[in-house]
Chains A and B, each alone.
Chain A
Amino acid sequence: AQSVTQPDIHITVSEGASLELRCNYSYGATPYLFWYVQSPGQGLQLLLKYFSGDTLVQGIKGFEAEFKRSQSSFNLRKPSVHWSDAAEYFCAVDLGSQGNLIFGKGTKLSVKP
């Protein structure tokens, strides 16, 4: 069955440090890929998306992600984390013509001052 794995449940980084959140998917073809962020008590905000083309995609708030077909991965990165980045991050995959998303379980990011 198709699945999305975010292996890190909780990550803590210092403000100003770099960040990488991991996402792996299980699917035969190249899906559409997304990263969303959710602040406490809020809905999900789209950070970035990959449909095709350049495998390094830029998003909002200084985030980027790289699609690696050989590793079935779509990791999220940010060179310098700000305290306001503390939130939960979800990787999602759109598998096909139905356009339905499958989400990972999320990674909660804490930022130390």
Chain B
Amino acid sequence: ETGVTQTPRHLVMGMTNKKSLKCEQHLGHNAMYWYKQSAKKPLELMFVYNFKEQTENNSVPSRFSPECPNSSHLFLHLHTLQPEDSALYLCASSIRRPRRHEQYFGPGTRLTVT
């Protein structure tokens, strides 16, 4: 595997389900990100992890719970979602220190909440 991978690519879940999205980067980066992309809004940054530590949470509802066990893996745990949470969820990674670099994105998980 190369680059940034995400699984699953498509997910349909009911409002009472619990599911997890997985992201893995094979680039040796030290920062990882979750973004939400919905039809009517620009890309929204949700969470940022630097060296496995969460450094940003952009007022994301608690029904989204991130986890970063190491610098290569990032999860987004989902529970009791709402239909408006249906969107494309993108993971990205980059080098943050010693200098900032560009972000590389995975293919995304298309989430549909029914």
* A42 to chain B: closest residue by CB: B107
| B42→A105 contact, CB < 8 A | yes
Besides A32-B100, A41-B108, A97-B100, 18 new A-B residue pairs in contact (Cβ under 8 A), listed by A number? A32-B102, A42-B108, A43-B6, A43-B105, A43-B107, A44-B92, A46-B102, A46-B103, A98-B55, A99-B96, A100-B45, A100-B48, A100-B56, A101-B43, A101-B45, A101-B103, A105-B42, A106-B42
| B90→A43 contact, CB < 8 A | yes
* B44 to chain A: closest residue by CB: A103
Q: Of B43, B45, B94, B105, which is within 8 A of A45 by CB?
A: B105
Please give the distance in Å from B90's CB to the nearest CB on chain A: 6
Cβ contacts under 8 Å, B92 to chain A: 44
Please give the distance in Å from B30's CB to the nearest CB on chain A: 11
Docked complex: A26-82 residues within 8 A CB-CB of B: 32, 34, 36, 41-46, 49
Evaluate whether A98 and B102 lie within 8 angstroms (CB atoms) in the complex, with A103-B42, A103-B43, A105-B42 already known: no
Q: Is the interface of B mostly helix, strand, loop or mixed?
A: strand
| A41→B110 contact, CB < 8 A | yes
Count A-B pairs with CB separation below 8 Å: 46
Cβ contacts under 8 Å, B75 to chain A: none
Complex CA–CA separation, A98 to B105 (angstroms): 18
Cβ contacts under 8 Å, B81 to chain A: none
A-B contact pairs, 30 of them (CB 8 A): A32-B102, A36-B105, A41-B107, A41-B108, A41-B110, A42-B107, A42-B108, A43-B4, A43-B90, A43-B105, A43-B106, A43-B107, A43-B108, A44-B105, A45-B105, A46-B102, A46-B103, A94-B100, A97-B100, A98-B48, A98-B55, A98-B56, A99-B31, A99-B94, A99-B96, A100-B45, A100-B48, A103-B42, A103-B43, A106-B42
